[in-house]
């Protein structure tokens, strides 16, 4: 029996989760954003800041959505998935962003990067267990 239908379902679920991630980001809703993560998730941003738990992820994003990312717009460029085991997946999600600002309030140039995710669950209820975000240089890479 082939795993292709299951993998196809999981790939569609990852694409859907990434779309919900971007939607929550683009309305700057920290609660909707954090709801995509497991209650005990680990989150590391592009600056290396690490927090554990959905509540801490929500708190961190409440601050940044009110400041440096309040005018930002996130786009999902590509998703890739690899099964790791029963109801466990690794995914890479390529992103781009406009509208971010520095801590001083100055506009930042467009950004791009890749989120490395570990996801758990069935296709209909995937949650992010681990997220490491990586910002790519303006040219080259990927």
In a domain, 142, yes or no: no
Nearest partner of 14 among 112, 76, 80, 94, judged by Cα: 80
Q: pLDDT tens digits for 42-80?
A: 999 999 999 999 999 999 999 999 999 999 999 999 999
In a domain, 104, yes or no: yes
In a domain, 12, yes or no: yes
In a domain, 140, yes or no: no
Instruction: Indicate the pTM of the whole model.
Output: 0.91
In a domain, 108, yes or no: yes
CATH code, 120:
3.10.450.50
In a domain, 53, yes or no: yes
In a domain, 141, yes or no: no
Nearest partner of 119 among 29, 20, 5, 42, judged by Cα: 42
Q: pLDDT tens digits for 97-134?
A: 999 999 999 999 999 999 999 999 988 899 999 999 99
Instruction: State which residues form the domain around 93.
Output: 4-135
In a domain, 26, yes or no: yes
Q: Is the per-residue pLDDT at 1 higher than 70? A: no
Nearest partner of 33 among 71, 61, 52, 75, judged by Cα: 61
Question: Taking the mean position of all CA atoms in its chain, how far away is CA 11?
Answer: 15
Please state the domain count of the chain. 1
DSSP-assigned letter for residue 131: E
């Amino acid at each position: 029996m082939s795993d292709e239908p299951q993998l196809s379902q999981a790939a569609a679920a990852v694409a859907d989760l990434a779309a919900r991630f971007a939607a929550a980001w683009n309305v700057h809703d920290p609660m909707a954003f954090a709801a995509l993560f497991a209650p005990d998730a680990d989150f590391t941003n592009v600056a290396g800041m690490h927090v554990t738990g959905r509540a801490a992820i929500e708190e961190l994003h409440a601050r940044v959505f009110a400041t440096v990312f309040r005018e930002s717009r996130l786009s999902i460029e590509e998703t890739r998935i690899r099964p790791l085991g029963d109801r466990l997946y690794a995914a890479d999600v390529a992103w781009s962003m406009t509208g971010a600002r520095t801590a001083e309030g100055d506009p930042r140039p467009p950004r791009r990067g890749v989120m490395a995710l570990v996801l758990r669950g069935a296709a209909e209820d995937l949650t992010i267990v681990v997220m490491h975000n990586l910002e790519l240089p303006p040219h080259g890479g990927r």
